[in-house]
A and B are shown apart, each in its own frame.
Chain A
């Protein structure tokens, strides 16, 4: 049994003149939670749809759970769970009836009632789907995605319409699935979500992978230059440095004690992300291509 859930090399998909996916390479080990992060139209949904067997790729190779998603059959599909965007449900039946029905498609489903509880719809189990709020419907989508006990779960913008509480409950649900060995690939706009959930974050923009790494090291974030700021002679001073600790040490000596209004700032995931997708102005300092952070040196910008 392969230890790799997904292995894709050079995936390409073209719609007319627009190359939506322009050579994506991706390897996802089993049990990982991978977040695909990117702006609208970046190609992340198309990538996931190719890997989930919903779209045929124009180029490249892909193995998902050991099979080619373009040709794999029902048995392969029964090992997958998918939650796409904008798919309606049989609306006039109860939550419980719908989940029970979908459980019947799978060889070894989870207990439908337990799944309804897992997604936090226990109190609405007997409610008609029509009467659910947007966020509750989304939770039902998630319930249908996991009722088949998938080895690999694709979630496309799963928390759309969730209130903050529901989002946190959902994060702990995904965390629990991952601890149970489920591989999870989810797309999101929410950096907070990526940071909370992901083992690794893959930033996709204009059809390509722009960065891949853990949320804390993405785009050289951990090693990026920090900005050290303080006030001297009534003026705000800021210095960008690879060695903030040494600089603070020097300042401590200089001021012989408390440094006035000291701040040390590292780029947030959001700054790194905006920089990587090319929308950022003033993201990671001096690294418009996301690589500048690797350069060494200290420079004052007072």
Chain B
């Protein structure tokens, strides 16, 4: 029997992490685009809620702040958490449960390329989410958008830190899911609770101290607060805790979550489902 001798050689070096990672990002985006139910779940909900609240509650926040202005920052925060935390928590749990992750471990794909691909997907979706929400708010309800470069810069850093921390949290949470059928209980329910306790639907001014204390342990409250700083005029900060938006605290809280999230991911990430040992 003939033996083909083909040992490791410089030409045999597997493709680099960046190249494979971008290729995975493109695959993830195409896959996401074909999954209409996740497109609907991810994009329609924040825009729908914004439309409903802006139409129904206009005028109840007094002069100066319209309903759309009041809700837009919180719903942008919710939209970002939806594309990062909820999307990754559900999709990675399913990939693990169905053996998709295990299959990848059988290839020479660098593990970092998998996460790079997810990063590309989440950034793509997050940008889409922000454009969609700002577009609906501006075109349908004449919302106030960030007025100067400093406000846009604030939007940008909250966008990055918030999306990164929620992504890492989503990847970590996916490891708690026993099988993909139970994923919504582990991922969607906590997310929904956070939406009500972090100032997205219910103004933080009316939330009890203990609720705010608990919610401030998670990123969503800080993202919403940071985005209010970017979107709302300076005089309206009085309703926030301490009467100010306090951007340094927002940056610190989200920064800590990025570090904690990364540690959780490194400690908990599994390529195999539980029953695979």
Q: Which residues of A does B touch, CB under 8 Å?
A: 1, 3, 15, 30-32, 52, 54-55, 74-80, 82, 84, 86-90, 92-93, 97, 101-102, 104-108, 128, 144, 148, 151, 178-182
Contact = CB atoms under 8 A, between A and B. Distances in A.
Contact of B14 (A3, A30, A107): A107
A71 to B, nearest CB: 15
Contacts of B8: 75-76, 79
Given A90-B31, A105-B107, A107-B13, 13 more contacts: A54-B105, A76-B8, A77-B106, A84-B103, A90-B27, A92-B35, A97-B30, A101-B23, A101-B27, A106-B14, A107-B11, A148-B107, A182-B4
* Secondary structure type dominating chain A contacts: loop
B31 A92 contact: yes
A179 B30 CA distance: 38
Nearest to A20: B277
Nearest to B99: A87
Q: Would you list the 9 A-B pairs with minimal beta carbon distance, nearest first?
A: A181-B4, A88-B98, A87-B99, A92-B34, A78-B108, A87-B103, A82-B106, A31-B1, A77-B108
B13 A75 contact: yes
A294 B168 CA distance: 64
A222 to B, nearest CB: 21
Nearest to A55: B277
Contact of A77 (B5, B100, B107): B107
B12 A108 contact: yes
Contacts of B178: none
A105 B31 contact: no
A296 to B, nearest CB: 35
Interface of B: 1-8, 11-15, 19-20, 23-24, 27, 30-31, 34-35, 95, 98-100, 102-103, 105-110, 277
Among B13, B19, B23, B106, residue most surrounded by chain A Cβ atoms (within 10 Å): B106
Contacts of B15: 104-107
A90 B4 CA distance: 33
Nearest to B277: A15
Contacts of B30: 93, 97
22 contacts: A54-B106, A55-B277, A74-B110, A75-B108, A76-B8, A77-B108, A84-B99, A87-B106, A89-B103, A90-B31, A92-B31, A93-B27, A93-B31, A97-B30, A104-B19, A104-B23, A107-B15, A107-B108, A108-B12, A148-B107, A181-B2, A181-B3
Contact of B20 (A1, A52, A104, A179): A104
A41 to B, nearest CB: 14
A151 B99 CA distance: 24
Contacts of B108: 74-75, 77-78, 105-107, 148
A102 B23 CA distance: 10
